[in-house]
Amino acid sequence: MSDRQAGSGRRSRTSSSAPRAAVRGVRVMSSGRWRPPLGQPPLAARRAPRLIAIGAALPGVGKSVIASNLAVAIAGLGRQVIIVDLDLRAPRQHALFGVAPAEGETERATGVRNVRLWPGAGRVASARDVAARREILLELSALDADVVVVDVGAGNRDDLWDFFAAGATRLLVSTGDQPALEATYAFLKSAALRAERRYGAARARAVLAEFSGGLVGNAATAPEQAESFHAFARIVRERLGIPLSTLGCLQQSPRIVQAIAAGKPLLARRGLDDEVRAFHQMAESILTESAISTGDCALDGPAEDVATVPLPVELASYVRKHPRFAVDWTAMLELPEGVTDVRVLDVSEAGAAIETTLRLRVGEACVLHLHQLEGQPAVPVVVKNVVPRLGRVGLAFSSGGGAVLGIVLAGRARHVAP
């Protein structure tokens, strides 16, 4: 048995001459509703809940909607979730779940399985000082849940730095328009300045490197716009030293608007579309990464007032030449010793991102078989990068041609309204 197969209880391997009936079975299973990722770790015995704090530099970018749907997505993975509304100016979670406004401090059912609402905004707003606020927020780690999703208001956005450090995942929501990205950059720069003030310039970058979280792009008007969020994250990593990555990108969707009006999160309604899949993929990534996160990126202290100004470099100079299109396909990856099932997450003219339990190495040559697509293309690829903690692998197409063009067109077609 090779080292690739060791400990791979759920790995599926067939020979490269697998019967077509088996392949057809895979296609049928993957063409329906969303399914958990390959090799998802089992739910461990409950300890302190995992904290996920969601904030935004500006109001009106969809932060609360992201929080409510992400909570439902995580609950769908079998976790007990409490969503905490800490938007001190305009708490919205009760409306998004279609329940009455909070009366008192008792957590309530939301009507969604495994999701409860803890109305914390009133208590935090009435706290006398920072110490009192901290005492209240420490209670979040004692809540009876597997995961606590915290909706942090734009008005008290510095709570994201002040009260969530070790073991917490911080998410920032932004739209792709210039004012929102510039405000988000200024907010992240304030975190970098906090780190320098608290730890000194020499150690600040090492502390910021422990930042656990990501960027959620919202209300994109075209699939190509998703690349602008990736470009923004590259600028943050290079200029500020914060390892920000783009967790997901959501398109403008009338179904999300309808869900808000109906008082029921999109993921709690019927139907499966790209936005539903995006929320599920974000939930997987967060749980997989945060399950091993031990970083401590404490940035509490007096706020740093950073003016919102144009980005330090042109966003266009950090945009990749070939836009990526999010997909959710099953495929097979052929290696010299056999074939394994993989999940394709996005495609571009340059390559594809996949999810696999296999231990791949940068530089390995493989063949990607896309049996779901017309013509069932098989394209040579090379492993370009590996993110072991997420089971994510970037593949570069070894050559172009009609097969690659067909793959990209199929990916793009998923995002074009009929």
Mean of all residue pLDDT scores within the chain: 84
Worst-scoring range by mean pLDDT, 80-94, 120-134, 211-225?
Answer: 120-134
Residues 6+ apart with CB under 8 A from 157: 55, 56, 57, 187
Among the candidates 301, 318, 335, a domain finishes at 318
Residue 227 domain-assigned (yes or no): yes
User: What pLDDT sits at residue 123?
Assistant: 79
Which amino acid makes up residue 358? Answer: L
Same domain, 361 and 373: yes
pLDDT in tens, 162-203: 888 777 899 999 999 999 999 999 999 999 999 999 999 999
Asked if 235 and 318 touch (Cβ cutoff 8 Å), the reply is yes
Length in residues, the chain = 418
Same domain, 310 and 171: yes
Asked if 74 and 321 touch (Cβ cutoff 8 Å), the reply is no
Same domain, 283 and 408: no
Asked if 227 and 319 touch (Cβ cutoff 8 Å), the reply is yes
User: What pLDDT sits at residue 121?
Assistant: 76
Closest CA to 311 of 213, 229, 251, 203: 229
The Cα-based distances of 41 to 144, 329, 387 in angstroms read: 21, 21, 16
Output the domain CATH number for residue 20. Answer: 2.40.10.220
Same domain, 331 and 281: no
Answer whether residue 38 shows pLDDT above 80. Answer: no
Residue 18 domain-assigned (yes or no): yes
Asked if 285 and 213 touch (Cβ cutoff 8 Å), the reply is no
Is residue 216 classed as helix, strand or coil in its secondary structure? Answer: strand
Residue 38 domain-assigned (yes or no): no
Arithmetic mean of pLDDT, 403-409: 93
Answer whether residue 7 shows pLDDT above 90. Answer: no
Same domain, 309 and 396: no
Output the domain CATH number for residue 287. Answer: 3.40.50.300
Answer whether residue 294 shows pLDDT above 60. Answer: no
**pLDDT confidence bin for 37, thresholds 50/70/90:** very low
Residue 7 domain-assigned (yes or no): no
Residues 6+ apart with CB under 8 A from 170: 53, 55, 160, 164, 211, 212, 213
Asked if 356 and 342 touch (Cβ cutoff 8 Å), the reply is yes
Arithmetic mean of pLDDT, 287-298: 65
Answer whether residue 257 shows pLDDT above 90. Answer: yes
Same domain, 344 and 200: no
Q: Which helix (H) or strand (E) holds 197?
A: helix 178-199
Same domain, 176 and 287: yes
Among the candidates 272, 301, 318, a domain finishes at 318
Nearest 10 degrees: Cα torsion 185, 275, 86, 242: -30
Same domain, 116 and 84: yes
User: What pLDDT sits at residue 35?
Assistant: 46
Q: Give me the domain span that covers residue 262.
A: 50-318
Residue 42 domain-assigned (yes or no): no
% residues pLDDT > 90 (the chain): 54
Q: Which residues of 299-316 are buried (b: 16+ CB within 10 A; e: fewer)?
A: beeeebebeeeebeeebe
Same domain, 310 and 329: no
Same domain, 217 and 325: no
Asked if 122 and 105 touch (Cβ cutoff 8 Å), the reply is yes
CA distance 347 to 82: 35
CA distance 6 to 355: 18
Same domain, 237 and 356: no
Closest CA to 342 of 327, 332, 328: 332
Among the candidates 267, 293, 318, a domain finishes at 318
- Of 318 and 40, more confident: 318
Residue 418 domain-assigned (yes or no): no
Residue 155 domain-assigned (yes or no): yes
**pLDDT confidence bin for 358, thresholds 50/70/90:** confident
Q: Which of 82-91, 243-252, 266-275, 307-316 has the highest mean pLDDT?
A: 307-316
How many domains does the chain fold into? Answer: 2
Q: 10 Å Cβ neighbour count for 103?
A: 9
CA distance 13 to 350: 27
Q: Which helix (H) or strand (E) holds 161?
A: helix 159-162
Residue 2 domain-assigned (yes or no): no
**pLDDT confidence bin for 138, thresholds 50/70/90:** confident
Asked if 155 and 89 touch (Cβ cutoff 8 Å), the reply is yes
Same domain, 208 and 280: yes
Rg (CA), the chain: 22
